[in-house]
Amino acid sequence: MMVIETSGLTKFYGTAPGIIDLDLEVREGEIFGLLGPNGAGKSTTIRTLLNFLLPTRGSGTIFGLDIHKETVAIKRRTGYLPGDLALYDRMTGREFLLYFANLRKIDTRTRVRELADRFDLDLDRPIKAYSSGNRQKVGLVNAFMHDPELLILDEPTGGLDPLMQQEFQDLLNEVRDDGRTVFLSSHILPEVERIADRVGIVRDQRLVTVDSVEAFKDLGRATVTIRFASIPDPSAFASLESVLEVDVRNGGDTLVLSIEGTVDAVLKMAAAQEVLSISTRANELEDVFLSYYTDADAS
Amino acid sequence: MLHNVFAKAIRDNLRSAIAWMTGAGVLTAWLISMYPYIRGSEEIKELLEQLPPEMIATFGVDPATFLTGAGYVSGQMYSFIGPIIMIGFAVALGAALTATEERDGTLDMLLSAPISRRRIVVSRIAAGALLSALVPGAMAVVLLIGNGPFGLQLSIQGILAVNVGLWLLGLVFAGLAGAAGAFTGRPGVARGVAFSAAVPAWLVTTFAPVLEWLDVASRMSPFTWYMEKNPLLDLWSTGLAWLVMSSVTLGVATLWVFARRDIATELTVLPQTRITTKRSRHVKPRSVYLLRSVATKTVWDRRRTTVLWAAGISSVLLASFSAWPALAANPDALAAVIGAMPPEMFIIFGTTDPAAMATPAGFISSDAYLSTGPLVMIIFCVSGVSALVAKEERSGTLDILLSNPIRRSAVLGGKAVGLAFLAGVIAVILTVVGFVGNAVWNAGLEPMHIIGANVGLMLLGIFFGGMSLALWSFLGSGGAAVGITSVVAIVTFFLNGLATLVDPIAPLRVLSPFFWYLGDTAALAKGIEPAYLLLLLGGVLGTAVAVWRVEKRDLGT
Ligand SMILES: Nc1ncnc2c1ncn2[C@@H]1O[C@H](COP(=O)(O)OP(=O)(O)OP(=O)(O)O)[C@@H](O)[C@H]1O
Ligand SMILES: [Mg+2]
């Protein structure tokens, strides 16, 4: 079942494009990451899905409900974290969350207490006095407190420290274990790589590609760095079929090899000499990601 | 109080509602407590009968009924002060309908809750209508209590009718602000549209009895619908129905527009027709020179506001000029009427020398340099400080500004200079308007006096601007600085007048900036007074204190 489905969804700001011809499908129970550089159209997509912006053309559904006509019904089952977070400064965190729980006509007090504990968030101070990370936490608690079927999170980890990012990731895993769905945007790759099941890449207001994180990784190249006790012969390595590129570093005793396919041949050749250390940075999404950008830039 | 949008709207605005309500109630009490002076006066009665009715219509006084409680109350309270208070509060509520939250960015969050846009607007309209009813409500209560003791002889129905009328008048302008805010998403525009509609509408209605050519325009003014018949006597007139219809229409328009808008995009969008506001385009090259320094950027930020407020005072000034010839037809009778009225009645408008009202300088000063003008000028300077300095600290842009190699004091000084310059621009515009009015309507004012009046007005604004700047530098809160400055302005305004009547406070009069500005001579009857120097010094001192203080303070806490 598709939770989010759009066809040809397009939003122009006057004449400036926000997102163009977006065909997107987000499946039930998955964590979908929308990746793209600044200004690619991520926030526009999200704000159009939530009916803050009216599509210039195209249409979309969430839970099979029309994003424009049935937006209230959609929001009942959705939790949202804005990318540009603004809160009612004069309220305390608790009052803020109480108000939004009331608007949903549910009692979330237990869940709020639980989440606040997990995020180590003091709810009884005025929001004005919060640090930016703590404001972000209030936004996150608001999105999660009613255990929605779908979470739409625009750059959720901004301002969170590593510990809290871990907590957030655990929370997402629980959501996935429950079979609920997450749609998040980010431009931080390692984050999406860790969290998401599938990734869509947007660039210049268009969705360039969608695939699973694993598939992206397979596409990628690996980088192997080998440090030898004595100076090796780089051309021997370069002649191997799997080696695309050889970089000589550190006065010649270190080789940085760019590899496609298996590392077998490289390892065997290296083993002929005394190897001090070896590291591989294999198949990272970042490489794919960057190559998508640079490829597109080139064209 | 956090149950739903309605309850939260009540909670958010309750404090200011109570403040406005108290102000309205106290002023009403003050005015009706003076009625016994009037009621008994045969002298005033005779004098009034000698005058052509239109002559004093511009004072909001209906000669036929002035001596009755109904005429007195409607003339003194319900034709000027009451509407100012009502509309001031109502427009603030209208701007907060959607625009304030849209600017603050919290509307995204609110709309992510399962609640429709229509529902939000309807809830807030209901809350706003209820809250704004508190102002006429308080006035009605004061009238009901004072009715017997002060011998006003008002009918209960009449009290009800006039306050319902006032409330409806407020709703029309709240509706205008609400619709403009829903259309643009900008509270400043919402307020601007509502006020720039209210000022001419009020002028048209007020001066229509004297200036025939205003007749058609005055048919379309909400003030005419509200004031043409005196609801204290005529009870429910058709004008009230017009008020209901226009506020309902504006409410529906707000709902319609808001349901179809892109939220927080700087775009004003109707279905299919897309209008891009100027601001969302690139800064036009011809304006770029204004972005060179903090001071010029201040001018850039406030350029529209400046023009708007200058236009407001200018129109009041021109209206006073144009009404003068009609009044000048029988100056002696006018002087006699004014002389027979109790001075307390004028003090509320800042006049300590009522006799001067019968001279061109005194009469023309009475709106532009005594009541409306100073009000607008002070609001311009004080709200300028709040918008330029305090808001910048609150929104965090001050951090970015100060990450440049520029001292805090230079930033603050630059803003103060920019704002003072703009107050000067308003003064220059008014001077030009004054010269034109003087020539066209033959008022015979001295050129130096016209210049002097505007210098004084400008310095009065600078004085209170400097004060709020100093307060902000200590308190770190724009709201508190504006609040305290307003209270000081109101208290010293009344101090200036009251001190001439109440002996124990007489020595304090010299402390009032309004005394330095007004003295006992109408602004247009004197040149640049030495006392104006005190206003300038006060403004400079306030700024200097702020500049000194801000170097030593934590920012954004
Ligand atoms: N109000 C607006 N008016 C005009 N153009 C806009 C407006 N808001 C966004 N845009 C444009 O739409 C495009 C997409 O913007 P969007 O905010 O969706 O990007 P994003 O992917 O969320 O970027 P970021 O990573 O910086 O948050 C950008 O090119 C931007 O310039
Ligand atoms: Mg974004």
- What confidence score (pLDDT) does residue A218 get? 64
Q: At which of A164, A191, A214 does a domain end?
A: A214
Q: pLDDT (tens digit, 9 = 90+) per residue, A201-235?
A: 898 899 988 888 777 766 656 788 899 988 888 88
Q: At which of A157, A190, A214 does a domain end?
A: A214
- The CA A164 to ligand 1 mean position distance, Å, reads 28
Angle at which helix B408-440 crosses helix B532-550, to 10 degrees, equals: 160
> Tokens for A144?
């999660």
Confidence of residue B283 (pLDDT cuts 50, 70, 90): very low
In percent, the amount of chain B with pLDDT more than 90 equals 30
**With a 6 A CB cut-off, is A41 part of the ligand 1 pocket?**
yes
Residue A278 zone, left/alpha/beta (φ > 0; ψ -120 to 50; rest): beta
Domain boundaries of chain B, sorted by first residue: 1-262, 292-557
Give B277's contacts in chain A (Cβ within 8 Å).
none
Q: Are residues A210 and A226 in the same domain?
A: no
A70: in domain: yes
Q: Which atom of ligand 1 is nearest to the CA of A18?
A: 12
Contact B174, B94 (CB under 8 A): yes
Give A123's contacts in chain B (Cβ within 8 Å).
none
Confidence of residue B407 (pLDDT cuts 50, 70, 90): confident
- CATH number of A226's domain: 3.30.70.100
- Picking from B106, B113, B280, the nearest residue to A14 by CB comes out as B280
- H/E stretch holding A74: helix A71-76
Question: CA-based Rg of chain B, rounded to a whole angstrom?
Answer: 24
- What confidence score (pLDDT) does residue B513 get? 93
Q: Do A71 and B276 touch (CB under 8 A)?
A: no
Contact B437, B321 (CB under 8 A): yes
Contact B322, B211 (CB under 8 A): yes
pTM: 0.79
- What confidence score (pLDDT) does residue A18 get? 92
Residue of A nearest to B276 (CA): A14
Give B276's contacts in chain A (Cβ within 8 Å).
14-15
B13: buried, middle or exposed (CB in 10 Å: 19+, 13-18, 0-12)?
buried
Distance CA A178, CA B374 (A): 65
Q: pLDDT (tens digit, 9 = 90+) per residue, B72-130?
A: 888 778 877 888 889 989 999 999 999 999 988 899 899 999 999 999 999 999 999 99
Distance CA B208, CA B224 (A): 9
Structural domain count of chain A: 2
ipTM of this complex: 0.72
* Contacts by residues A16-22 (CB-CB < 8 Å, ≥ 24 positions apart): A17/A41, A17/A205, A18/A44, A18/A48, A18/A53, A18/A205, A19/A44, A19/A45, A19/A48, A19/A202, A19/A205, A19/A206, A20/A205, A20/A206, A21/A58, A21/A206, A22/A58, A22/A206, A22/A207
- What confidence score (pLDDT) does residue A183 get? 96
Give B116's contacts in chain A (Cβ within 8 Å).
71-72
Distance CA A98, CA A110 (A): 11
Q: What pairing do the DSSP bridges indicate for beta strands A150-154 and A78-81?
A: parallel
Our mutation pick for probing the ligand 1 site, out of A15, A38, A43, counting the most ligand atoms within 8 A of Cβ, is: A43
- Picking from B3, B113, B274, the nearest residue to A14 by CB comes out as B274
Strand, helix or coil for residue A32: strand
Distance CA B465, CA B478 (A): 12
Residue B250, CA distances (Å) to A136, B94, B170, B178, B246 in order: 38, 11, 12, 8, 6
B200 closest CA partner among B180, B212, B218: B218
A290: in domain: no
Q: Are residues A128 and A273 in the same domain?
A: no
Could you tell me how many helices (H) and strands (E) chain A has, helices first? 11, 14
Residue of B nearest to A56 (CA): B272
A68 touches chain B (CB under 8 A): no
- CATH number of A148's domain: 3.40.50.300
Domain that holds residue A226: 221-282
Q: Are residues A85 and A44 in the same domain?
A: yes
Strand, helix or coil for residue A80: strand
Q: Which amino acid is at B501?
A: L
Q: Do A75 and B274 touch (CB under 8 A)?
A: no
Angle ∠(B91,B425,B525) on CA atoms, nearest 5 = 95
Q: Do B109 and A72 touch (CB under 8 A)?
A: no
Contact B450, B434 (CB under 8 A): yes
- What confidence score (pLDDT) does residue A286 get? 62
| A-B contacts (CB, under 8 Å) | 78
- The CA A240 to ligand 2 mean position distance, Å, reads 44
**With a 6 A CB cut-off, is A18 part of the ligand 1 pocket?**
yes
Our mutation pick for probing the ligand 1 site, out of A44, A84, A152, counting the most ligand atoms within 8 A of Cβ, is: A44
Three-class secondary structure assignment of B172-211: HHHHHHHHHHHHHCCHHHHHHHHHHHHHHHHHHHHHCCCC
Q: Do A102 and B3 touch (CB under 8 A)?
A: yes
Q: Are residues A116 and A255 in the same domain?
A: no
> Tokens for A238?
């370069």
Nearest CA to ligand 1 atom 1: B265
Q: What pairing do the DSSP bridges indicate for beta strands B267-269 and A16-27?
A: unpaired
Task: Assess whether pLDDT exceeds 90 at residue A265.
Answer: no
Nearest CA to ligand 1 atom 13: A18
- What confidence score (pLDDT) does residue B219 get? 80
A288: in domain: no
> Tokens for A278?
């070896």
Nearest CA to ligand 1 atom 31: A39
Q: Do A103 and B115 touch (CB under 8 A)?
A: yes
Q: Return the residue matching tokens 């006032």.
A: B166
- The CA A82 to ligand 1 mean position distance, Å, reads 14
Q: Please state, rounded to an integer, the average pLDDT across all residues of chain B.
A: 83
Distance CA B180, CA B189 (A): 7
**With a 6 A CB cut-off, is A39 part of the ligand 1 pocket?**
yes
> Tokens for B300?
């850039």
Q: Are residues A227 and A207 in the same domain?
A: no
B264 closest CA partner among B407, B104, B401, B481: B104
Contact B207, B323 (CB under 8 A): yes
Q: At which of A214, A233, A267 does a domain end?
A: A214
